Amino acid sequence: MDPHLLTTFVTVARHGSFSAAAAELGYTQSAISQQVAALEADLGLALLRRRPVEPTPAGRRLLEHAEPLLLRLRAARADVLRTAAEPRHLLRLAATPLAVNPVVAARLAEARARQPRLEIRLRMCRAERLAALVAEGRADLGLADGIAAPSDPLRLPDAGPMTTTGVTEEDLVVALPAGHPLAGRASLRLADLIDARWLRTPLCPPARLRDLVGEGFPAGLEYEGDDVRTALNLAAAGHGLTLLPASAVPAGGGGGGGVCAVPVAAPRLVHRVELLHAALPPGAAADLVAALSG
């Protein structure tokens, strides 16, 4: 179970070819063959079927383990090395699309006002990748958003020891087309919407939606992008409902096409933004964390 052999195995499985893996890793075919053989000998069972090269059941199981394992290994290395890094003034921030709400943006501004030398590079990414980015040190700080019960932490993929801090919580609303029968309501319950069509978008993770609304709700349009205005336009046009933080839906229901935001009364849920970071690089990071935490 040497990580070295594990990466080789993963690469071979991904390419479906020993020679391609050899090319990528800078080894000869022969070495790859020996490494795979060594791993199989170590475990005492076949991991790959040859010609065509594809994982056996045991191999598939190992693949499920190997990826997070290697991620955590890289994360550990990055985290330890960070303790000896020199101070930086450029902070690389990674955020999910809905994480930079007005409050977060304002706090970032405060921090920059207090620390003129502070530079921030903000990069967007999906929630699943965010923890990995931060863990591996490819981002210094992460801002993740999600739906949770009030004061409950978000469920983020575990990529090793990391600090998570709640930043904001705000009301959750359902974005309805202006003409929808429930559009005028002061609030509604998700249970009332069990038959509604939902917009499938990474803005509101489908897995979470399934938990909340129930299994097998009729799927509306699937929008693979993460632009909020596009999602709102789609919602306004009746392609499906969306769960969004209140601040993401323009007030008054005006705008282009008319969406109406109705707060979710039950279950009690909030849209939560969380800050996550591994060991902080010395420098401006600690101040920014403090500023964001409020």
Instruction: Pick out residues in 28-57 that bind DNA (CB under 7 A).
Output: 28-31, 33-38, 50-53
Q: Are 46 and 56 in contact (CB under 8 A)?
A: yes
Local structure of residue 183 (DSSP, 8 states): T
Which amino acid is residue 99, in one-letter code? A
User: Exactly one of 50, 110, 128, 161 binds a second copy (CB under 8 A); which one?
Assistant: 161
> Which residue, 156, 127, 138, 144, is CA-closest to 91?
138
Provide the β-strand partners of residue 259.
Answer: 177
- The Cα–Cα gap between 16 and 38 comes to 18
Question: Nearest distance from residue 8's CB to a second copy, in Å?
Answer: 15
CB of 92 to a second copy, least distance (A): 20
Q: For the chain, what is the largest distance between any 2 Cα atoms, rounded to a whole number of angstroms?
A: 69
Report the nearest approach of a second copy to the CB of residue 80 (Å).
5
Nearer to DNA, 17 or 233 (CB): 17
Q: What angle do CA 146, 104, 111 make, to 5 degrees?
A: 145
> Which option in a second copy, DNA, none does residue 58 bind, with CB closer than 5 to 8 A by kind?
a second copy
What the block records as the tokens of 109 is 């501004």
CB 244 within 8 A of CB 98: yes
Q: Is the dihedral of CA 95, 97, 99, 103 positive or negative?
A: positive
Residue spans of beta strands (DSSP E) within the chain: 48-49, 54-55, 90-95, 119-124, 141-148, 163-177, 188-189, 198-200, 219-222, 242-245, 259-266, 270-277
For residues 28, 4, 81, 86, the Cα torsion angle rounded to the nearest 10 degrees is 10
Q: Which does 44 bind (CB under 5 to 8 A by kind): a second copy, DNA, none?
A: a second copy
Span of 12-20, 74-82, 171-179, 260-268 interacting with DNA by CB under 7 A: 12-20
Q: How far is the CB of 165 from a second copy (least distance, A)?
A: 14
Nearer to a second copy, 158 or 222 (CB): 158
Based on CB atoms, which residue is closest to DNA, 40 or 169?
Answer: 40
Q: Tell which one of 22, 75, 144, 231 touches a second copy (CB under 8 A).
A: 75
Contact status: 242 vs DNA (CB under 7 A): no
Report in angstroms how near the CB of residue 182 gets to a second copy at its nearest: 23
Interacting positions 246-275 with a second copy (CB under 8 A): 267-268
101 closest CA partner among 245, 227, 4, 217: 245
Q: How far is the CB of 101 from a second copy (least distance, A)?
A: 23
Tell which one of 10, 20, 182, 279 touches a second copy (CB under 8 A): 279
- Tell me if 37 contacts a second copy by CB under 8 A: no
**Amino acid code (one letter) for 72:** R
Q: Which amino acid is at 200?
A: R
Amino acid making up residue 257: G
- Applying CB under 8 A, the residues found at the interface with a second copy are 1-3, 43-45, 57-58, 61-62, 64-66, 68-69, 72-73, 75-77, 79-81, 83-84, 149-152, 155, 158, 160-161, 211, 267-268, 279
- Applying CB under 7 A, the residues found at the interface with DNA are 2, 4, 17-19, 26-31, 33-38, 50-53
